[in-house]
A and B are shown apart, each in its own frame.
Chain A
Amino acid sequence: MLIIFYVAAAIAIISTVMMITRMNAVHALLYLVVSLLAVAIVFYVLGAPFVATLEVIIYAGAIMVLFIFVMMMLNLGERAIQMERSWVNPGTWVGPAILAAALLIELGFTLSARPAAQTHATDPKAVALSLYGPYLLGVELVSMLLLAGIVGAYHIGFTGPEEKETVDATKLDRERTLAGGHLVHAGAGRIAVPPQRDIYADVD
C-alpha cells in the first residue's frame, strides 16, 4: 500500500511539472489528466474511496472534456507556441521555484519530525451523513454557486443574433489570416471561394 502511494505521488508530481512546462496546450492537458488520476489513487490509498471516485468522474471526466472541447474549438496553432516559448526563459521562473523549493524542504522537515499517522478508511456513508447533517447550508450555497456559474457562462458566451449573421466563414478566415492565426484546412478553409478568372478582362 505504501509503495502504491509513493508511486502515485511521484507520478502526480512529475506529470504536473510536465504539464506546466509543455508548450502545446493539448499535451499539457493530457499530463493534467494523468496527474488527476494519480491524485485519485492517492485519495484511495488515504482511505477516501468516495472522493477518489468523484475525482475521476468529475475532474478527469467532465472538466477535462470541457477543456479539450474549448481547445479544439480555438485551435491556436504554431504562432501561440512560438510566443509561449519566448516567454519561458529562466529569469521568470527561477525566483518562484526557489521559494517553492524552500517550502518543500520545510514540509519535509515537518513530516520527518512527526510520527506518521495511521490511515483508516472513511466510508461514503459517513461523508454523506456529515454532508447533509452539519454542512447542509454549505450544500445549498454550493448549489446556488453552480446555478450562478451556469447563468454567468450562458450570459458571457451568448452572442446576439445580429452579431451571428455578419460572421461568415470566408470573413472569419480572412481575419484569422490577418491576425496570423492558423487556418483550419479541414473545416472552414474549404468554404473559401477560389479566385476566379476575370471574364470581363478583355471586354472594354
Chain B
Amino acid sequence: MSIEVMLNASGLGFVVAGARWGQTDGQVMFLFVLAMAAAEVSVGLALVLRLYHLYKSLDVDASSLLGG
C-alpha cells in the first residue's frame, strides 16, 4: 500500500509537470505508471498469499531464506 502511495505521488508529479508546460507527455507517463502499478500489485499480492500459505504469518522476518 505504501508503494501505491509512492507510485501515486510520482504520477502526480508527472501530471503536474505536464500541466505546467502544457504537454500531454505527463499524462502519458501517468498511464504507464498506472499500468506498472497494476502489474506490480498482482505479483506482490500473489507473493503475499504464497508467503501466508507457507508460514501462516505475514512476518517478513520468517522468510529470510532463499531456496530454489
The answer to whether A149 touches B15 (Cβ under 8 A) is no
Which chain B positions have C-beta within 8 A of A46? 15-16, 19
* Least Cβ–Cβ distance between A100 and chain B, in angstroms: 12
- Say yes or no: is A16 at the interface (Cβ < 8 Å to chain B): yes
CB contacts (< 8 Å) of B32 on chain A: these are: 138, 142
Shortest C-beta distance, B34 to chain A (Å), equals 6
Interface string of A113-134 (1 = CB under 8 A from B): 0000101101000110111000
Q: Indicate whether A152 reaches chain B with its CB closer than 8 angstroms.
A: yes
A153-B45, A157-B49 are known contacts. Are A48 and B28 too (CB-CB below 8 A)? no
Q: How far is the CA of A102 from the CA of B52 in the complex (A)?
A: 38
B interface residue count range (under 10 / 10 to 19 / 20 to 34 / 35 or more): 35 or more
Residues in B with CB closer than 8 Å to A76 are 58
Q: Measured between alpha carbons, how far is A43 from B30 in the docked complex, in Å?
A: 11
Q: Determine which of A80, A122, A129, A146 lies in contact with B18 in the assembled complex, contact meaning CB atoms within 8 Å.
A: A122
**Cβ contacts under 8 Å, A32 to chain B:** 1, 4-5
Contact pick for B50, options A73, A149, A157, CB 8 Å: A157
Contact of B57 among A28, A47, A73, A181 (CB under 8 A): A181
Are the C-beta atoms of A59 and B34 separated by less than 8 Å?
yes
Shortest C-beta distance, A43 to chain B (Å), equals 6
Check if B19 sits within 8 Å of A36, measured CB to CB: no
Question: Which B residues are within 8 Å of any A CB, using their own CB?
Answer: 1-2, 4-5, 8, 12, 15-16, 18-20, 22, 24-28, 30-32, 34-43, 45-50, 52-53, 55-59
Enumerate 27 A-B pairs (CB-CB under 8 Å) in ascending A order.
A25-B1, A28-B1, A32-B4, A35-B8, A42-B12, A48-B26, A51-B31, A58-B34, A63-B37, A63-B41, A66-B42, A67-B1, A70-B45, A70-B48, A70-B49, A74-B58, A117-B19, A117-B20, A122-B24, A138-B28, A138-B32, A142-B32, A149-B40, A156-B43, A156-B46, A157-B49, A179-B55
Which of A's residues lie within 8 Å of B, judged by CB? 16, 19-20, 25, 28-29, 32, 35-36, 39, 42-43, 46-48, 50-51, 54-55, 58-59, 62-63, 66-67, 70, 73-74, 76, 80, 83, 117, 119-120, 122, 126-127, 129-131, 135, 138, 142, 145-146, 148-150, 152-154, 156-157, 159, 175-176, 179, 181
